[in-house]
Amino acid sequence: MLDIKFLRENPDKVKENIKKKFQDEKLPLVDEVIELDEKVRKVKLEGDNLRSERNNISSSIGALMREKKIDEANAQKERVKEINDKLVELEKEENDLNVEVRKRMLVIPNIIDDSVPIGKDDTENVEVEKFGEPVVPSYEIPYHADIIDRFNGLDKEAAGRTSGEGFYYLMGDIARLHEAMIAYGRDYMINQGFTYAIPPFMIHASVVEGVMSFPEMQAMMYKIEGEDLFLIGTSEHSMIGKFKDQILKTEELPITMTSYSPCFRKEGGSHGLEERGLYRVHQFEKQEMIVICKPEESMDWYNKMWRFTVDVFRNLDIPVRQLECCSGDLADLKVKSCDIEAWSPRQQKYFEVGSCSTLGDAQARRLGIRAKGENGTYYVHTLNNTVLASPRGLIALIENNYQEDGSVLIPKVLQPYMGGKEKILPIK
C-alpha cells in the first residue's frame, strides 16, 4: 500500500505506474483517493477546531460558576453538549471516509523499480543470466511421473480417493529424496546465517490482507469454513505476519529467517500431459527465506537472496536461469521480482522453481511493521524468496540426474540425507 502523502503529492507518477502495469481500469482510483483524502482532512480540521473550542469553553465554565454567572455557565455547558454531538457525527464521517480511502489504496499497485522491464504479461519476462550448461542426453528421458512410477514412488490414484484431484502420495526412495532436498535447503540457509523457523500453517484474514492483494488471495488461498483462518500458500505469509503491529529497533535489522512449511493453493486441475504428474498440485512443501530490513538495504538483499537459490540448485547439479519479471507480471505489492527457472532436459526448456521479490514498505504499511531509529519511526522493507520447493524441485532433480539404465544419481550434497546412497535404483 502506498503512502497517502506520496500519492497526494505525486498523482501523475502513481498514474504512470498504473499504466506501466497495464491496469488502466485503476486510473480513476487515484483521483477518487485525492478527493476522499481532501474530505478527510476537512472533516478532521473541523473536528480539531471544535475540540479546541470545547477546551476553551470548559476552562471558562469554572470561572463563570465562581463568579455566580449561572446562566452564562449553563449556556456554555449547552454549547459543549452541541459540540460533543457534532464531534460524534464528524468522527463517524471521518472513519467512514478513511475506510473508503483504504479500500482504494489497497487496490492501487505499488511503485515498481525503474529497472523493471515493461511488458504486459509473463510472455514478456526477460532472461538475465544462465547458470550451468543445459544438457540434453543422447537417451530418452521419460515423463517425470513415469520415472517415479518405476520406483513405486507416486500414488495419485489413492490420493484421489482420499483427497481428490491435485493431491499425491510420495513413497519410498522418492519420498526420502523429496525430504532430503528440503532438509538440504534448510541447512544451506542456516549456514548463510538465517534463523530457522516453523511457522503457523493457518493465518487470520487481517494477515492475508497485509501480505497480498485481494485477487491473489481469491486465486490462491483456501478458507477454513466458519473460522477466521486461511491455509497458507507460502510460509512468507505467516513469517511476515509474525511482526504485525510491532515496532522493531533499528539495531535489530536486518531480520533474516528461513522457514519450512507445507503450502496449500487452488492450483489448476488437469490441463494435458504436464498436469498428469506433479507440476500443478494443491499441496507441496517449501523452504522459504524472508528478510526485514532498512529501506536503503532492500535492493542489496534482493540480489543476495535470488543468488542463494541459484547456488542451491547448482549444488544439486541442476542448470538454472534468472528471469526478470516484467511490469505486467508483477503482483500489485511487488517493487521488483525475478523467477529462478530450472532446466528440463525432457522438455528442452526451463520451468519455474522459485521466485524472489522485494515489496518495499507495502506489506509493512498494511501490517503496521515499523522500526524506531534516531530520527523516529519508519516502515521497514520486506523481501521473500523460495529456497527450494518440492515437488517442482524434485522434478528438476530427477530429470537432470536421470541415467540411461533408469537409475537417478544423488548429488553429493544430498547423500548424507539419503544414508550415504549415491544413486537410487528403479524397482520396476
**What pLDDT tens digit does each residue of the chain (428 aa) get?**
899 999 999 999 999 999 999 999 999 999 999 999 999 999 999 999 999 988 888 878 877 777 778 888 888 888 888 899 999 999 999 999 999 999 999 999 999 999 999 999 999 999 999 999 999 999 999 999 999 999 999 999 999 999 988 899 999 999 999 999 999 999 999 999 999 999 999 999 999 999 987 777 777 899 999 999 999 999 999 999 999 999 999 999 999 999 999 999 987 544 444 567 888 899 999 999 999 999 999 999 999 999 999 999 999 999 999 999 999 999 999 999 999 999 999 999 999 999 999 999 999 999 999 999 888 999 999 999 999 999 999 999 999 999 999 999 999 999 999 999 999 999 98
| CA–CA dist 23, 16 (Å, integer) | 10
Residue owning grid cell 509493512? 364
- Residue 119 and residue 326 in contact, taking contact as beta carbons nearer than 8 Å: yes
Domain boundary among 52, 74, 105: 105
Q: Note whether 9 and 47 are same-domain residues.
A: yes
Q: Note whether 296 and 387 are same-domain residues.
A: yes
Q: Note whether 408 and 285 are same-domain residues.
A: yes
Q: Note whether 189 and 295 are same-domain residues.
A: yes
Q: Note whether 309 and 215 are same-domain residues.
A: yes
Q: Note whether 274 and 313 are same-domain residues.
A: yes
**What is the pLDDT, as a whole number, of residue 273?**
41
Q: Note whether 24 and 138 are same-domain residues.
A: no
Question: C-alpha distances in angstroms, 354 versus 128, 213, 321, 385, 408?
Answer: 15, 20, 11, 7, 23
Amino acid at 206: S
- For position 332, which CATH number holds? 3.30.930.10
Domain boundary among 74, 105, 136: 105
| CA–CA dist 406, 401 (Å, integer) | 10
* Residue range(s) defining the domain that contains residue 145: 122-424
Q: Note whether 150 and 248 are same-domain residues.
A: yes
- The reply to whether 110 falls in a domain is no
Q: Residue 324's beta-bridge partner residues?
A: 126, 338
| CA–CA dist 365, 60 (Å, integer) | 42
**Residues 327, 331, 332, 337: what is their CA dihedral angle, to the nearest 10 degrees?**
-60
Q: Note whether 74 and 161 are same-domain residues.
A: no
Q: Note whether 395 and 363 are same-domain residues.
A: yes
Nearest to 325, CA basis, from 31, 17, 21: 21
Number of structural domains in the chain:
2
- For position 8, which CATH number holds? 1.10.287.40
- The reply to whether 113 falls in a domain is no
- The reply to whether 211 falls in a domain is yes
Sequence-distant (6+) residues with CB within 8 A of 418 are 173, 176, 177, 180, 410, 424
Q: Note whether 190 and 292 are same-domain residues.
A: yes
This model's pTM is above 0.75? yes
Neighbours of 191 (CB within 10 A): 8
**What is the pLDDT, as a whole number, of residue 197?**
97
Q: Quote the cell numbers at residue 39.
A: 474530505
H helix or E strand, kind and range, residue 170: strand 169-170
Q: Note whether 126 and 94 are same-domain residues.
A: no
- The reply to whether 112 falls in a domain is no
- Residue 57 and residue 76 in contact, taking contact as beta carbons nearer than 8 Å: yes
Domain boundary among 105, 133, 164: 105
